[in-house]
Chain A
Amino acid sequence: MNNAFIIGQYVPGESIVHRLDPRTKMVVIFLFVIIVFFANSFWSYALLAVFSLACALFTRIKFSYIIKGLTPVWFLIIFTFLLHLIVTKEGDILFRIFTYPVYAGGVMQGAAISLRFFLLIMVTSLLTLTTTPIEITDAIESLLQPLKKIRFPVHELALMMSISLRFIPTLLQETEKISKAQASRGVDFKTGRVKERIQAVVPLLVPLFVSAFKRAEELAMAMEARGYQGGEGRTKLRELKIQQRDILVFGVFALLIVGLLFTRA
């Protein structure tokens, strides 16, 4: 498995970002994702970049770790940049790469879009880096509370999410185990024609589904045996509470939005 890929991985810590209410983090990041698209001048981008770098620093996670973890995404970012370089034909010709002209507008556009992309991915990965999956589901349940009025099964949705998150590593383990067993029986997952390789997936998927269904059934039985009956009247072990630091963060974020409005071209 590729462990260089950190998106979705939690890094335990005690920083202020770790201790923020997960709802605060989610709301701020959700809004950030929107306002990133409003930036259109050098200073507005600079402001957003400074904000996200500050967030990253406050997590106390090694910056090199975050950057390295985004390695698979770098490819996309660079690809976006090059695409803009080639396609956009605005402004003056800056220089030529073997007779192919590169326009100033292309560089600007490319840089802006890649930066946008980078900021989006970095900030959203900060959420999962500093928040346990359980906290995220708790936050979603709490944020979706108003939907209960229209009979949306919020608690059930949150439960489904936390169960699926919980079983991802288990399923990965299971996949590895079964693929090894089938490889020992002569299945070749790595070479051969496309058709053969697609067929090779069947002996992997069937046992995986069988065990997943079995596990689901056992889990449901265990939950019922312990008297689980949904969200009605259920108290929580981890109560979410908005604290001073959360209000502070919202304040800073409001300032960011104001600043963005002023620096927009």
Chain B
Amino acid sequence: MDISFKNVSYTYQLNTPFEHKAIEDMSFNIPSGSFVAIVGHTGSGKSTLIQHLNGLLQPTAGEVAIGSYRLTAEKKLKDLKELRSKVGIVFQYPEHQLFEETVAKDIAFGPLNFGVEQQEIEKRTAEALKAVQLPEGMLERSPFELSGGQMRRVAIAGVLAVQPEVLILDEPTAGLDPRGQKDMMEMFKRLHKQEGLTTILVTHSMEDALVYADHVMIMDHGRKYMEGSPQEVFVKKEELKRVDLDVPEIIQFIFKVREMFPTDLNYHGQTIPELAEELGRITRGDIHE
């Protein structure tokens, strides 16, 4: 599903003394099937933004389009259920939303609400559990006796079981150990490809945005600050510094190398091993000359 924002603003507690503008005049397009990272500091409006995507919030000005669905300030929201079945949101610390007696029931909760048939639900539950790499024996256990990481996977399975077309991830790796973070991101990457999802990742991690996203949007104080491919965005050191964001480590390293040696080494999306090889080639070349 294509997503587009046209001059969208959202103000909390409009028309009260406590008015607070969370996002202001945002316009952008997310084509179907893309993997977009939204980066920005706490309070830059990222969470407010994503809540527009399934009608949890209604813009106070402008228009949000999700597929054939339109959200505007004037129109009363309807058919929200249909929209929500197509846009799945994994909130921050999603394990806090678990409530059922068994893992199976919790995963089935979403599909049940959206009116999926019993047989289909069982099929989807099994699939979702497999997608998040949990063993099948876990289905009959209570979600509250699992470890934190497992609970998170169950909660994510609950969102996946709805089979959304758009998957929104709000800092899905927060609070996991480095290994767990990597596993989790790899899992989302695989799902993105396998299911042909449109994925929107809200993150603090420049590294994740660089590695996984094919489009990056940087937000600052409720406005869109920069947008482009990771290769374009993350080399703009000065602009990033102005909003207190760091350049990803690998690009920082390339900058350092260029500062110290006369070389035209550039970032073009290489991984760390690839970069090491490239450096090897360059240095060997130097020796030969």
B81 within 8 A of A: yes
A185 lies within 8 A of B91 (CB): no
Q: Closest CB of chain B to A183's CB: distance in Å?
A: 6
A residues near B16, Cβ cutoff 8 Å: 3-4
State whether B110 touches A177 (Cβ < 8 A).
Answer: no
- Determine if B96 and A185 form an interchain contact, defined as CB atoms under 8 angstroms apart: no
Q: Is the CB of A180 within 8 A of B158?
A: no
Answer whether A206 and B114 are a contact pair too, CB < 8 Å, given A3-B16, A177-B91, A180-B91.
no
Contact call A183/B99, Cβ cutoff below 8 A: no
Contact of B96 among A3, A178, A183, A188 (CB under 8 A): A178
Which chain A residue has the least Cβ–Cβ distance from B115? A186
CB–CB A184/B56 < 8 A: yes
State A188–B55 Cα separation when bound (angstroms).
12
What residue of chain A has the Cβ atom nearest to residue B97's Cβ?
A181
Residues B97 and A178 in contact, CB atoms below 8 Å apart: yes
How many A-B contacts at CB < 8 Å in the complex?
61
Q: Known contacts A180-B51, A210-B144; is A186 also within 8 Å of B98 by CB?
A: no
CB distance from A161 to the nearest CB of B (A): 26
Q: Is the CB of B85 within 8 A of A207?
A: no
Interface of A is mostly: helix
Q: Select from chain A the residue with minimum beta-carbon distance to B56.
A: A180
- Size category of the B interface is 20 to 34
Take A4-B16, A177-B91 as given contacts and tell me if A183 and B97 are in contact as well, using a CB distance cutoff of 8 Å: no
B156-212 residues with Cβ-Cβ distance < 8 A to A are 158-159, 162
CB-CB nearest in chain A for B161 = A185
Write out the residue numbers on chain B whose beta carbons fall within 8 Å of the beta carbon of A203: 97, 99, 109
Contact, CB under 8 Å: B98 / A185: no
A181 to B51, CA, bound (A): 10
A202 at the interface (CB under 8 A from B): yes
Decide: A185 and B144 in contact? CB cutoff 8 A: no
- Are A207 and B97 in contact (CB-based, < 8 A)? yes
Residues from 166 to 187 in A contacting B, C-beta threshold 8 Å: 174, 177-178, 180-187
Of the residues A186, A202, A206, contact of B85 by C-beta under 8 Å: A186
- As a 0/1 sequence over residues 26 to 49 of chain A, the CB contacts with chain B under 8 angstroms (1 = contact) are 000000000000000000000000
Are B159 and A185 in touch, CB under 8 angstroms? yes
Task: Tell yes or no: A211 within 8 A of B by CB.
Answer: yes
B residues in contact with A177, CB < 8 Å: 91, 96
Docked Cα-Cα span, A206 to B96, in Å, equals 10
B54 touches A3 (CB 8 A): no
**Cβ A211 vs Cβ B81 within 8 A:** no
Which residue of B18, B81, B94 contacts A181 across the interface (Cβ within 8 Å)? Answer: B94
Using known A-B contacts A180-B56, A181-B91, determine if residue A186 contacts B114 with beta carbons closer than 8 Å. yes
Q: How far is the CB of A207 from chain B (nearest CB, A)?
A: 5
Shortest CB–CB separation between residue A135 and chain B, in angstroms? Answer: 24
Asked whether, in the complex, the Cβ of B13 is within 8 Å of the Cβ of A3, the reply is: yes
User: 22 A-B Cβ contacts within 8 A?
Assistant: A3-B13, A3-B16, A3-B17, A174-B96, A183-B56, A183-B84, A184-B87, A184-B91, A185-B97, A185-B109, A186-B81, A186-B85, A186-B110, A186-B113, A188-B81, A188-B113, A203-B97, A203-B109, A206-B99, A207-B96, A210-B99, A211-B96
B interface vs A, CB < 8 Å?
13, 16-18, 51, 54, 56, 81, 84-85, 87-89, 91, 94, 96-99, 109-110, 112-114, 144, 158-159, 162
**Chain A contacts to B: CB under 8 angstroms:** 3-4, 174, 177-178, 180-188, 202-203, 206-207, 210-211
